[in-house]
């Protein structure tokens, strides 16, 4: 986590937010500090390929889908500063949204279709493709960056893989053919904002780019299961979500192989 006392804002950022009050958003992104201002969101995190990609992909998209604009992106002393316009609406995981499961499933299906309609054939940013993701996963495995403690209980251990290295080898040997669309890369409910039943914005776009559609589908289904299943409400189940509810809304076929593959790939990140 970046410490506020150690952060000196770059001059280009100060022009927009200097002396303004802000609150800290501590949902997710453990290595980041996210400051919420009246009109802007400032994300401060260690500079990386993902921080570069977020800025580049947003500019490539233009106004194709609802994402924040980024008036300033700069790097200083190993930190990346991404100043974004504030997205209207609320996270889909907000308590009042979770009270309407059918509406949420419909909203997410519309969001996925919105992404899939973007023509990515000329997209120059390919860090989201499986070749690049596996390279990034290997780097994390070799450097001991995989958080095994927070993996799904069945991923590692007696009934699963011995360690992240064995999982990585399995992923390399069992990679599926890619069905390329524009993907968000981490399409969980906190990263989708909506108001009055319509999506107002996608956030946290560092992994966005061309990839197999199941990259998003797997993460989205898992997010529904966690949010409705009680993971964040002390075990109190909210709704009996079934993956086919979303799959049927999308009008596509279930693919167990790809679902498992992309869930396991995400365990290394």
Kindly give the pairing relationship between strand 209-212 and strand 180-183: antiparallel
Placement of tokens 């596509």 in the chain:
252
Q: What is the dihedral of CA 124, 129, 135, 136, to 10 degrees?
A: 80
Which residue(s) pair with 25 in the sheet?
34
Residue 223 CB-density burial (10 A; 0-12 exposed, 13-18 middle, 19+ buried) = buried
Q: What is the dihedral of CA 194, 195, 200, 203, to 10 degrees?
A: -40
Any alpha helices (H) in 117-176, and if so which ranges? 130-142, 164-173
How many angstroms separate the Cα of 64 from the Cα of each of 11, 217, 224?
A: 30, 20, 26
Q: End-to-end alpha-carbon separation of the chain, Å?
A: 17
User: Of the listed 186, 204, 212, 266, which one is catalytic?
Assistant: 186
Q: Annotated catalytic, 147? A: no
Distance CA 56, CA 127 (A): 11
Q: What is the DSSP string of 49-73?
A: HHHHHHHHHHHHHTTSS-----SEE
The answer to whether 51 and 80 are in contact (CB under 8 A) is: yes
Q: What is the dihedral of CA 192, 211, 115, 46, to 10 degrees?
A: 40
Q: Which residues are catalytic?
A: 186
């Amino acid at each position: 986590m970046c410490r506020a006392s150690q952060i000196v804002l770059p001059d280009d950022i100060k022009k927009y937010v200097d002396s303004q009050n802000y609150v800290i958003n501590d949902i997710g992104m453990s290595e980041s500090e996210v400051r919420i201002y009246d009109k802007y969101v400032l994300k401060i995190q260690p500079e990386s390929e993902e921080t570069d990609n977020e800025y580049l992909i947003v500019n490539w998209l233009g106004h194709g889908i609802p994402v924040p604009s980024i008036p300033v992106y700069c790097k200083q002393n190993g930190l990346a500063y991404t100043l974004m316009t504030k997205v209207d609406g609320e996270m889909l995981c907000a308590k009042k949204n979770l009270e309407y499961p059918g509406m949420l499933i419909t909203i997410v299906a519309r969001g996925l279709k919105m992404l899939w309609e973007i023509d990515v054939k000329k997209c120059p940013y390919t860090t989201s493709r499986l070749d690049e993701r596996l390279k990034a996963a290997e780097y994390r495995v070799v450097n001991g960056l995989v958080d095994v403690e927070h993996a799904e209980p069945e991923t590692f251990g007696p009934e699963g893989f011995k360690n992240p290295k064995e999982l990585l080898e399995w992923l390399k040997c069992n990679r599926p053919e890619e069905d390329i669309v524009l993907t968000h890369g981490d399409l969980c409910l906190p990263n989708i904002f909506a108001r009055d039943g319509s999506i107002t914005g996608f956030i946290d776009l560092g992994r966005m780019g061309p990839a197999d559609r199941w990259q998003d589908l797997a993460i989205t289904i898992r997010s529904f299961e966690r949010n409705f299943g009680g993971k964040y409400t002390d075990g109190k189940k909210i709704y009996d979500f079934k993956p086919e509810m979303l799959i049927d809304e999308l009008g596509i076929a279930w693919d167990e192989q790809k679902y498992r593959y992309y869930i396991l790939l995400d365990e290394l990140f």
